[in-house]
Structure 1
Amino acid sequence: MNFADVAQAAERIRGHVRRTPMVRADQLFAPLGVEDLWLKLECLQVTGSFKARGATNRLLTLPPEVLTRGIVAASGGNHGVATARAARLAGVPAAIYLPGNAAASKIEKLRGWGAEVHVGGSVWDEAHELARAEAERRGAYYFHPFADRQIVAGQGTVALEIIEDVGPCDVYLVAVGGGGLIAGMATAIREKNPSARIIGIEPTGSPTLHDSLRAGEVVRLPAVTTRVATMACGRTDESIFEIVRDAVERVVLVEDEALEAAARWLWFELGIAADLSGAASIAALMTGAVAIRPGERVCGLVCGAGTEGMQGR
């Protein structure tokens, strides 16, 4: 994948997804020690996450005849909802497979979009195997959340909007599940803002890219223990790994509890209801997993909507 793919995706999906706002995180009760922090609110995207970009781009690149038997996907939640919406736009059925740790709110949203929902497997990788088998059985088209050039290109359009709206940032903080979002954004950022620091954030219970980068090759995790289904993946794709290896400064790890605390911080400070993946950039700053240098402009991506920030536990 290259920058032209992202630029073409931006033109293709214009008018089919929202251009989400940027907000400066200031006037805070509990500051994070960052002088110039901006948040990209993809939690306000149609379907509630950035995933609508990739799914819509993939839909718009396909001839209608390949979709006549519907669309199948496996997801921790957000990609599934985006795929269900794409199927609705195409007027075809969607079957979405979720692991057992998927949030009930994501299942409810999927059903609201008219998807056929199946829960199977303990983690995304197992749901993925079930979904691929079902797609083959039906003759349906499979929407992979990250091992798909057009879906990754669609996710990269987030970065183009950030740079167009607030100019280049010094640091970009990006949540990682399978890696499609950070790969797409990094492709765009390196073209437009080559000196930027791009940092990925994973849960300690799903260090997929972290461990692959350390090993110098794609590895399969022996176990995925995070409770955050939208950030859980046992193995990334080789093409994603190559982009991240060449373009991302590093990937840091945070505990699930830090993601929960960050979601509460977003709700308290800014009234933003984020899912736990959407709170990852704040968690990295709160825990000190990422050190920000004086004067650096930082962009954090609130990549998904949820109710975790409002629970106050």
Structure 2
Amino acid sequence: MIQLQDFRAARRLIAPHMRVTPVFAIGTPDFGAAVAHAANTPDLFLKLENLQVSGSFKARGAMNAALNLDETTRSKGLVTASGGNHGMGVINAARVLNVPVKIFLPTNTPKPKVAKLRKSGVDVTLSGSVWDEANHAAITHARDTGMAYIHPFADPNVIAGQGTIALEMLEQQADLDTLVVAVGGGGLISGVATAARLVRPGIRIIGVEPTGAPTLFESLKHKEVVTLPAVNTAATSLAPRQSSALNVDLIGQNVDRIVLVSDDEMRNAAGWMWRELGLSVELSAAAGIAAVMQDRLGEGDMGKTGIIVCGTGTDGQ
């Protein structure tokens, strides 16, 4: 299992290439006409990973994984499959290391993300209708070319990199009672929950998934890795059909619950974040606010609640 020393080592390793993103204290928000359900709204503290290099938290895990490769391996280049954000993180790592990079995207990737990746000038291929199919193509390409494959969530070095967010956040706001984390494949919440529990064992961790892609919700319910028959959400960065045993195990040990929000609820939250806070985010980054708006965090006082705003975008505009 990943230890506190692994998260601290990742933080030291990636620090020269990452931003220490701010925590935005917004107090107890007034959602007003945006929602009629929020009766138990906690004090909120937003970790603005939408301001991270490459536009999302994914840069952390990708950089840690790439820097942990030996020089011979990484000199052949990096390859991955992505819903967009992990691809940008791997591109950033490849640029730092000055090595080639290849990105596979599923055809359900939002067009602005595809355009952004292609505009970066790297080799981008659309393959398969969902991330899992693009990932198969990426693994095959790595095997055929010798390029180093960097998994977006089922990699201890990626998880350790994402967990550096928790170390930062609990230094910036040491009295948090609850952390709310968007869930796709599970790399972010695996790292954040494990690191946070090692630093503060009593902290509450709540994951948020789309109703159209409840991959980890179903896996935790069945206590095994579940493959969804299909996914149906516009939040494509939160939409693999399958996670991994590593992520399911870490999440099962360290996460209190996973709750679900709809695409419309995420859009509503993203719109509120733009109008009221001036934050331009993608749907996945609004999942935590959506869960608060809909009173999905559970019963009882959540106390001071931190939400990771995981990626930039224009879904609220």
Scaled to the shorter chain, the TM-score interval is over 0.9
Tell me the residue number matched to 1:20: 21
The alpha carbon displacement at 1:172 in A equals 0.6
Find out whether 1:120 has 2:118 as its counterpart.
no
Find out whether 1:226 has 2:233 as its counterpart.
yes
AA aligned opposite 2:289 = I
Tell me the residue number matched to 2:78: 71
Find out whether 1:174 has 2:186 as its counterpart.
no
- After the TM superposition, which of the residue ranges 162-171 and 45-54 deviates more from structure 2? 162-171
Query: What are the residue-to-residue correspondences of 1:1-313 with 2, within 5 Å?
Result: 1-26=2-27, 28-30=29-31, 33-291=40-298, 293-294=300-301, 296-310=303-317
Contact 2:289-2:307 at 8 Å conserved across structures? yes
Deviations 1:82-118 (CA, angstroms, capped at 9, x unpaired)? 0011111111121111111111221222223332111
> 2-side partners of 1:35 and 1:122: how far apart?
39
What CA RMSD, in Å, does the superposition of the two structures yield over aligned residues?
1.5
AA aligned opposite 1:7 = R
Contact 2:180-2:208 at 8 Å conserved across structures? yes
- Taking structure 1 as reference, are residues 27 and 170 closer, same or farther at Cα in structure 2, changes over 3 Å only? closer
> 2-side partners of 1:156 and 1:212: how far apart?
21
SS in 2 for 1:6: helix
The alpha carbon displacement at 1:152 in A equals 0.6
- Taking structure 1 as reference, are residues 254 and 35 closer, same or farther at Cα in structure 2, changes over 3 Å only? closer
The alpha carbon displacement at 1:35 in A equals 4.0
AA aligned opposite 1:205 = G
AA aligned opposite 1:69 = K
> 2-side partners of 1:181 and 1:27: how far apart?
25
SS in 2 for 1:15: helix
> 1-side partners of 2:28 and 2:5: how far apart?
39
Tell me the residue number matched to 2:35: none
Contact 1:157-1:188 at 8 Å conserved across structures? yes
AA aligned opposite 2:187 = G
Contact 2:54-2:89 at 8 Å conserved across structures? yes
Deviations 1:267-294 (CA, angstroms, capped at 9, x unpaired)? 0110000111111100111122213634
Deviations 1:235-257 (CA, angstroms, capped at 9, x unpaired)? 11101111111110011111111
Q: Percent identity?
A: 45
- Taking structure 1 as reference, are residues 140 and 192 closer, same or farther at Cα in structure 2, changes over 3 Å only? same
Count, aligned residues: 310
AA aligned opposite 1:3 = L
AA aligned opposite 2:46 = L
The alpha carbon displacement at 1:68 in A equals 2.5
- After the TM superposition, which of the residue ranges 27-36 and 44-53 deviates more from structure 2? 27-36
- After the TM superposition, which of the residue ranges 89-98 and 267-276 deviates more from structure 2? 89-98
The alpha carbon displacement at 1:184 in A equals 0.4
The runs of 5 or more residues in structure 1 that have no matched partner are none
TM norm structure 2: 0.94
- Taking structure 1 as reference, are residues 242 and 295 closer, same or farther at Cα in structure 2, changes over 3 Å only? closer
The runs of 5 or more residues in structure 2 that have no matched partner are 33-37
- Taking structure 1 as reference, are residues 262 and 67 closer, same or farther at Cα in structure 2, changes over 3 Å only? same
> 1-side partners of 2:74 and 2:68: how far apart?
11
TM norm structure 1: 0.95
Contact 1:274-1:306 at 8 Å conserved across structures? yes
The alpha carbon displacement at 1:60 in A equals 1.4
The alpha carbon displacement at 1:69 in A equals 2.3
Contact 1:101-1:228 at 8 Å conserved across structures? no
Contact 1:285-1:291 at 8 Å conserved across structures? no
